[in-house]
Structures are given as structure tokens and as C-alpha cells.
Structure 1
Amino acid sequence: MKLLAKFSARAAMDGDGVKIRRIADFGNTRFDPYLMIDELKSDDESDYMAGFPPHPHRGIETFTYIRKGGFEHKDQLGNVKQIKAGDVQWMSTGRGVVHSEMPIADSDHGLHGFQIWLNMPAKDKMRAPQYRDSSEQQAKVLTNKNGASLTPLAGDWRFADQPESTVSAIISQSGYDGKLAAQLAGNAAIADVNLAANASAKLNLSQYGAVSIYVYSGAVIATYQGVQTRFTDGQLLVVDSAELVELVAADDGAGMLVLAGDPINENIVHMGPFVMNTQQQIQQAIADYESGKFGTID
């Protein structure tokens, strides 16, 4: 596995004072089509219970995955859903969404989840918004003989040494709930991979133009600049998608998100919740929101 770059998450706050860890790259887009990964992880309700009151978005897709706890989503389209542990949610904001995300009180388990931003190609940024979630479906899990398990969150996945065994996410390119396709921007595919102590897994992701690995627990062992290095939670590794992705856990195991996709390679102008291609488009987004064109949550 060839490492191209590495990032470390930084402590940040968003919403109404929610504490998060964030990795973002709105300039160099070294993990295009992905723009940002926010991780929310705490057993202290004061870190997250104020939540994310109503706010707008334009020009991005948000992909949310909950491992512990949950939140209630509301938007101007009329969607009201509780997203709980094991669920994923995909929202293609297009020309405009106003939504809120308020955590569900769960003092026994705390909250652990991720919100991932994907850029949208210019041709799609002003299309109608779309929404999907997996709250009524159960994800399938793929395991190998080396102590690895893989839960598909978006797209179709298989281990390199088990090409005959494929698991498809509920939100995937091949279909949603067997009925509706949910084509994520940049042909994105996301999986949650867990490795037992010293376990390993191999993934062939050469069909994608970009692959990144975000470690959220334990440690992954990889060779970087000729030296075998231990990468721990809160680090993102950008790897060469043309080479076999070899995941090896340290003696305390590892949990990680694997993010694949095809770079969009377009100019980005970012301001707060808006990601467009020109400064003029950003100013128009602000004007449209302030004039009420995004709608409101009832």
C-alpha cells in the first residue's frame, strides 16, 4: 500500500457548540471528491446535546453514519427521521436544503458518528435536493478468515481474496432498497472496516481514482516514506488507488472508514455551508437563503 499523504484531525466546534474532530481540505482537494470529515465522539452529553439547529447547505452532499447514539433529522422537504446506531443518511443538497440535526439523549452510550461532505460537480449543484436513509434496513457485513469485518455504507464492496463475495450497501450505486438508485457524487463508496488485534484485510479499489482511510480507533500499521509507521485514531491516510490496499491492525485492533471515489477536479469556492465554483455563485447562495428561497422547517 502506497501512502500519498496524511492528515490529522483537529479539535473544532460547530452547530450550537458541538465538539468535533475535523479534517477538511477545501483548497488542494487532496482527497477529492471528499471535502471534509467530522467525527463526533463523546460520552459527555454536554459535548453534543445542543446539536445543530436549522442551517442551510448548497452544492454539497452530506453523508452521515452513526455508530453510537443517534439524532433526529428535520428538513424543509418534510423529512423527519431518527437516525440511530448502524444507520446512514445521504442528502444531496443541490440548490438548497435547510435542516437541523438534534442528538437523541442516550446517557448510557454517548454519541459516536461521522458527517462527511462530498463536493458535487458543477452540473449538479443546482438540481433539486434528494434524501435517503437506511433507518428501515439492516446493513450486511462481510468477514474474512483473517479477523476483519466490513460493513458497506455506500457502494459495493468485497475483499480482494474473496472476489466471489460482494456486499452492497443500502445506499449504493446499484440501488436503494432495491428500488431507487442513489448515485453519490464522485461515484463515492464508503465502508466501515474493523480489524481484530493483528488482523488484516486486502481491498482492490483500482476502479476508483482516489482512496482514503480514516482511522477512528486502535491503530493501523503501514509503510510511509520507507518506514513502517503506526497510524492511530484521528488520522487520515491518502493512498494510491492503483495499488492493493492492505490494512493491518496493531495489537489493539483497529476501526476505520475507507472512502473511495473519483475526483471531480473542478474549482471550489467555499463559504460556511455553501460550496460552489465561483465567488458570484456563493454570493447568490447567500442572497437566496436570506430571501427565503431555501424554505423553512415547519
Structure 2
Amino acid sequence: MRVINQFPARPAMDGDGVNIRRVADFDNTKFDPFLMLDEIKSDDKQDFIGGFPPHPHRGIETFTYIRKGGFEHRDQLGNVKAIRAKDVQWMSTGSGVIHSEMPLADADEGLHGFQIWVNMPANQKMRPARYEDSSNTTNPESTNDKGAVLRALAGNWAFAGQTSISAPIQDLAGKAAIADLMLSPDAVAELQLGRHEFVGLYLYEGTLIDKSHHDQDSHKHIDKSYAAGQYLILDSQELLELKAGADGAGLLLLAGQPIKEKIVHMGPFVMNTQAEIKQAVEDYQGGRFGQIPL
């Protein structure tokens, strides 16, 4: 693989005091069509017990994936769903959503999950909201003979000789596709993702070894390792060759087509002009987003 750029996740806090690690680019130049990735990972309830009380969104898609524990989702559309381990949830917020995400009372084993923000094209930002989740189905998995398992979370993937692995969630903005790739110790995986203009990965556990790294000083190929908490932007046109370290590795793969539009960001709103942001604030404050049913 050829790493174009590398970004460390930074400690942050959101919701009602929830501790997270975040990688974000609201200049919309590095991760397009993606905007942000948040990771929650803790066995201490105090890090996440406050959850995310009711809050609005406009102009983005939020994609949530849970690996351990869970949240209860509620929104003004009337959706009330428990999102547990291996589940994903997609909200194409469009013109507006108000939702809450609160830790499940029976999730005593800790919490590990992700929320990814995807930008929406200008001509779709004010369409009606859409909601889907995978709680009533299964995200398909494919295993190679070298210790790697790919779980398709959104879009379509090809892995381990299978030409198409289709996740239940489709139609993300920017033709975005998301997968969880789990590597056992010293496992190897190869993917060809040349149909996507953007490819990135977020390493959430273990160690990843890049055996094709070229040292500019010595002009030799040397092994370079990446630790958990790193977000790598990759050359999508090169074969993606991944090797785990002795402790294995877990990573999210993110792929898509850049939307290439200027954006303006303020809190939960991502639009294309300051006037549209001002209108979003006025609509929310004026109660035009609706409210979550009791």
C-alpha cells in the first residue's frame, strides 16, 4: 500500500461528557466524501454514561457501527431502536433530524463503537431524512485463508475471491463504502479498491505493518508499523496489501467518491453557504425540526 497522508485521532469530548477519539476535516479537502470519524472505546461507564441527549443535524449522513455494548436511538421520525454489537445504523439527515443516542442499560461490558459523518451533495442536503439499520439482518462476512475477516458494513466489497459482498446498508452519499477488517496475529489481506477515488483506513486496535514502505533517505524498502489510533489516506489505485503485527489488527476501511463542493460547518450542521447555516439555526430554534415523541 502507498500511504499518502497520516492523521492521529485526538482525544475529545462530546454529548453529555462522552470521551471519544476524533479525526475530522471540515475543510473538506482530505477525507472527501467523509468528514469525521469518532471512536468510543472504554470499559468505564463514566466515560460514556451521559450519552448523547437530543440534538439536531442537517446536511450530513451519520453512520454508526457498534463492536461492543450498545445505544438506544430515538428520533423525531418515530424510530426507536437498540443498536448492539455488530449492528450499524445510517441516518441520511437531509433537511433535518433530531435524535438521541443513549447507552443501553444492560450493556455492562463496556462500549466500543464508531460514528462516521459523510457529506451530502448540495442538491440533496434539503431532501427528506432517511433512516436504516441492520438490527434485523446480518452484515455479511468473508474470510480468506491467511487469517483475515472482512465484515461489509455499507456498500459493496470484493474480498477473498468473492466478487461482491453486499452490506444491507446501501446508497450512502459519495458512493461511500465502509467495512471492518479483522486480522489475526501476522495475518495478511489484499484488496483492490481502484474503483474508488478515495480510500482511507482507521486502525482501531493492534499493529499494521507496511512492508512496501520506501525510505526516502536510504532508498530502500523497509518495514513501517502503524499503531492504533491512526487514520491513513491511501493511494486507491495501488493494490492494498495489509499485514498485521504479532498482536493482530482491527481497522475500518472507508472508500468513496469525493463530492468536491465547498462546505460551511457549524456544530451539527454542514451546508454549502453561511446563509444556509443561518437558516438551519433559525429552523432549529423555531421548532421546525420537530421533536422526539415521548
- The aligned counterpart of 1:157 is 157
SS in 2 for 1:166: strand
Counterparts of 1:60-209 in structure 2 under 5 Å?
A: 60-106=60-106, 108-159=108-159, 162=161, 164-172=162-170, 183-209=171-197
Indicate conservation of the 8 Å contact 1:49/1:105, yes or no. Answer: no
Letter in structure 2 aligned against 1:211: V
Q: Is the 8 A contact 1:22 1:39 kept in 2?
A: yes
Deviations 1:117-165 (A, max 9, x none): 0000000000000000000112221000111000000011122x51x45
For residues 74 and 37 of structure 1, what CA distance do their matches in structure 2 show? Answer: 21
Counterpart check, 1:254 vs 2:249: yes
TM-score by length of 1: 0.94
Query: 1:290 is aligned with what amino acid?
Result: Q
Query: Partner of 1:158: helix, strand, or coil?
Result: strand
* Kept after mapping to 2: 8 A contact 1:216/1:255: yes
Structure 1 range deviating more: 254-263 or 26-35: 26-35
CA contact (8 A) 1:45 1:107 kept: no
Q: CA deviation at 1:186?
A: 0.3
Q: Does structure 2 retain, via aligned residues, the 8 Å contact 1:142–1:158?
A: no
Instruction: Give yes or no for contact 2:28–2:263 (8 Å, CA) kept in 1.
Output: no
Residue 106 of structure 1: CA displacement?
4.3
Residues 197-221 of structure 1: CA deviation (Å, up to 9, x unaligned): 1111111110011000100000111
Show the counterpart of 1:177: none
**Other structure's SS at 1:22 match:** strand
Letter in 2 for 1:265: K
Deviations 1:243-264 (A, max 9, x none): 1111111111000000000000
Q: Report the counterpart of residue 218 of structure 2 in structure 1.
A: none
Q: How far apart are residue 228 of structure 1 and its match? A: 2.9
1:105 Cα deviation from its structure 2 partner: 3.0
| Aligned residue identity for 1:18 | V
> Amino acid of the residue matched to residue 194 of structure 1?
M
The 3 A distance-change label for structure 1 pair 42 and 123 is: same
Q: What is the aligned partner in structure 2 of residue 19 from structure 1?
A: 19
Alpha carbons of structure 1 residues 126 and 249: separation in structure 2 relative to 1, 3 Å: same
**Residues 225/29 of structure 1: CA separation in 2 closer, same or farther (3 Å cut):** farther
Shift, 1:42, TM fit: 0.3
AA aligned to 1:136 is: N
Aligned partner of residue 26 in structure 1, secondary structure:
coil
Q: Could you list the per-position Cα deviations for residues 218-243 of structure 1 after superposition, in whole angstroms to 9, with x for gaps in the alignment?
A: 01112455353211111000001111
Q: What is the distance in 1 between the residues matched to 2:197 and 2:106? A: 39
Aligned residues between the structures? 286
Secondary structure at the residue paired with 1:267? coil
* Closer/same/farther in 2, CA of residues 254 and 103 from structure 1, 3 Å limit: same
- Please tell me the residue identity of whatever aligns with 1:146: K
TM-score when normalising by structure 2:
0.95
Aligned residues of 2:28 and 2:262 also touching (Cα < 8 A): no
Tell me, in whole angstroms, the C-alpha distance in 2 between the residues paired with 1:220 and 1:31: 20
Amino acid of the structure 2 residue aligned with 1:188: A
Match of 1:233 in 2: 228
Match of 1:264 in 2: 259
| 1:85/1:279 CA distance change after superposition, 3 Å | same
User: Counterpart amino acid of 1:55?
Assistant: H
CA contact (8 A) 1:276 1:282 kept: yes
Residue 282 (structure 2) pairs with residue 294 (structure 1): no
